[in-house]
Chain A
Amino acid sequence: MAMSLGFHIIFAMVSMAMPLLMVIAEWQWLKTGQEVYLTVAKRWAKGAAIFFAVGAVSGTVLSFQLGLLWPAFMAWAGPIIGLAFSIEGFAFFTEAIFLGIYLYGWQKVSPNAHLAAGMVVAVSGIISGVVVVMANGWMNTPRGFTLVDGIPSNIDPIAALLNPSGLLQAPHMILAAFAAVGFAVAGIHAFLLLRHPDHPFHQTAFTIAAAVGCISALLQPLSGDFLAKRVAEFQPMKLAVFEGQVHTQKGAPFRLGGIWNSDKEMFDYVLEIPYALSLMLHLDPQGEVQGFKDFPKEHWPPIGLVRTAFQIMVFIGISMMFLALWATCLVFMKKNIFQSKAFLKAMVFATPLGFLATECGWVATEVGRQPWIVVGYVKTAEAVTPMPGLNIPLVFFAGLYTFLAFIVVWLMLRHVAATPGQFEMNPRTNLTALT
């Protein structure tokens, strides 16, 4: 399940963010009439289509796997949180329908209708992302029911959906998708710009993707900070693990790095910034931060893994923010951004970072929740399917996903290699070549 999700999430992110990029490009085309914008939009659409399809099928795997792997969890949680998935179902419908129109309708509907279809795809993709992340938030901060004799009663699906974690997780996830995809696309075009510095196609594509990526990357740490405060409020132990806070402390420092030593039950090699953590969480350098040793040991998640994953995410988040600031400076100083080789190289380097941060963020969130599947109510071990021999499908799916990932990467390489030459900028050849 975690594996399927980790796989699905990459494709889901592309499906959430790419429509926005395509819509921007197409809108620019309608506004300026410059053919290069249309070429960019079409090129992106062609590449993103693969991600849409694989995203859809891997999502289908998930909706079955919820039952296949966690039957008891679903029987328990279905009535409470299933509404979210029903809303998601209709969002998928809208997305799939208008995606069909977007991908195949270039010549069949008017340009405005086509652009509108793209917008519907973008919005419904975002809605499905929001709803499913809210459902995940519910597992962190379960709401909307009371337990009577071990059975959830007085169910309120709306309250369950609008749970405190989910409300902040959702914007963080959406920003993550825009940041990661924006940087990835910009990185690819930056790579090609280093080779063909004056290529208008790559310049246009880079500008749009980098703008979306950078704006999101600037907002991301802010949203992460809000989220961390929420975690401190509702899951203090999880936050303590994130921040490496072993003992409860007033005036807690912010810790960088560190390796968990499970014998001594402390972190080795930590770098401390005094009072910073208390300041961040409580806006007060003397504020008290709970340590995870205050909690029973059998409720600890795997500490080293969760902390490392969290650190990587934050580190990447800060790096992306600095890249975005760099870009902002270049723009404000009216420098030609394409002339700065160093900046382009940094962007190339950043291509996979957003996706890496996302995977790490999810590991932190999900593994940080262990041993609970629904915090405080159901343990993961109680919810798993009774079927023996689960390793076989697990290994098989791992193989399948590796295979698919390999193919997608390879197809993308081919896709990138087939840079539109000057002649393809001609609208006529262009139409036949790209639709």
Chain B
Amino acid sequence: MIDLETTLAIALLVSLTFYVLMAGADFGAGIWHLLAHGPSRRDQHHLIGEAIGPIWEANHVWLILIVTILFTAFPTAYAQISVTLHIPLTLLVIGIVLRGSAYAFRHYDIRHDELHVRWDQLFALASLISPFLLGIIIGAITAGSFPISPESFFEGYLSNWLQPFPLAMGLLALVFFAYLAAVYLILETQDSSLQEIFRKRAITAAICAGLLGEIVFFLGQEGASYLWGDMTNSLWGGLIIFGTVVFTVASVRFLFTRHYWWARTCAILQVILTIWAWGLAQFPYLVPPYLTIYSASSPAITLQFMVIALIVGACLLFPSLYYLFRIFKEDSILGLKHAPKKPADT
């Protein structure tokens, strides 16, 4: 039997996985919104707006779930993270606010005029900074060694995240999200010229993500030595690295051959593998080297209630989510319409 702490840590990791796979792609779509150009620019914008409309609020709640699990089950870690990473967290929150509001202002406005371009820009810009900050925050937590009684402002509130490793993690998150979004968007449209556009972008992003992943790995040996030391030297570490490389290559190959459904599956598997590898490497630390899921946890009774609440919640949540996605994403998820039409038809 796994203990309560581990169960809740797994719940955290599951939520993070869903957040990255779903909300991450929403952010990525925002990045493509910013980069959209060429004659089909308007169509690209339209596609992105349509694709995330019904689901972005639900996707966003995964983040709230992460925060609640963290502060209920591991309050000391939550408090420590909030103090040391106050600045990037605040910036992240601002990014999230601007993005959501700009999207809402743009899409629920009753009239249509040039002001919408401004909201779009704000939406896209906020989509760019938020994942970057999210990556930085995860990177800084991985690196750990938070100062206990900092001597200066710099040491207490800046030095932990203004480091090569967290910054590289930020970039990686950005590219990863863009990659996911591009791969999803291909399956959201039937217009083959749009598909071609996002196919090229997905390939570029995949290659960038692969390269950045290697850089992060390299920086991690130095920057997050507690965890990554094991990872690079052990057999399972090697297998994971090998696995992500295989999935990247496979995904790019499927993109080349236009097997979009398979490309997306590989991309998703790659992301899951990366996150879970990180989670395993992190175990049992929340913030190395002091705070583990055992030393930072709430009393057992709170954890028990949490687990019960999560189980009951999950029983409600997953059927509802299934219903939501069946209504809006049936075609794109099951890939019924992924056979591209010839450009001449459209």
Contact = CB atoms under 8 A, between A and B. Distances in A.
B153 interface: yes
Contacts of B313: 86-87, 89-90, 93
Interface in B47-67: 53-55, 57-58, 60-61, 63-65, 67
A106 B57 CA distance: 18
Interface in A385-399: 385-389, 393, 396
8 contacts: A67-B67, A78-B75, A79-B298, A93-B316, A93-B320, A104-B54, A109-B327, A400-B94
A68 B82 contact: yes
Interface in A261-287: none
Interface string A100-116: 11011100110000000
Contact of B316 (A46, A52, A53, A94): A94
Given A68-B82, A71-B83, A387-B86, 7 more contacts: A57-B100, A65-B93, A67-B78, A89-B313, A93-B65, A385-B86, A414-B110
Contact of A82 (B68, B80, B99): B68
B101 interface: yes
Given A96-B61, A105-B54, A400-B94, A64 B67 contact: yes
Given A101-B54, A414-B109, A96 B60 contact: yes
B54 A57 contact: no
A67 B93 contact: no
Contacts of A64: 67, 82, 89-90, 92-93
B110 A418 contact: yes
A30 interface: no
Interface string B286-305: 00000000000011011001
Which among B57, B83, B86, B92 has the greatest number of chain A C-beta atoms within 10 A? Answer: B57
A156 B301 contact: yes
Contacts of A100: 53-55, 57-58, 324, 328
Contact of B302 (A60, A75, A83, A386): A83
B262 interface: no
A414 B64 CA distance: 32
A295 B327 CA distance: 60
Interface residues of B, number: 64
A404 interface: yes
A53 B92 CA distance: 17
Interface in A61-76: 61, 63-68, 71-72, 74-76
A385 B100 contact: no
B26 to A, nearest CB: 12
A52 B103 CA distance: 12
Contacts of B89: 64, 67-68
| Closest 10 A/B residue pairs (Cβ) | A82-B72, A78-B75, A53-B104, A67-B82, A79-B298, A90-B313, A71-B79, A57-B100, A96-B57, A100-B54
Contacts of A53: 57, 100-101, 103-104, 108
B205 to A, nearest CB: 27
B81 A99 contact: no
Nearest to B300: A155
A156 B298 CA distance: 12
A158 B302 CA distance: 10
Contacts of A414: 109-111
Contacts of B79: 67, 71-72, 74-75
Given A49-B104, A53-B104, A64-B89, A74 B83 contact: no
A57 B78 contact: no
Nearest to A61: B93
Contacts of A347: none
A37 interface: no
Q: Which among B55, B64, B309 has the highest number of chain A CB atoms within 10 Å?
A: B64
Contacts of B312: 90
A20 B79 CA distance: 38
A97 B324 contact: yes
B301 A60 contact: no
Given A78-B75, A108-B327, A60 B63 contact: yes
A54 B306 contact: no
B301 A56 contact: no
Nearest to A48: B108
A411 B105 contact: yes
A375 to B, nearest CB: 20
B97 A75 contact: no
A142 to B, nearest CB: 15
A101 to B, nearest CB: 6
B7 to A, nearest CB: 14
B157 interface: yes
A78 to B, nearest CB: 3
A93 B75 contact: no
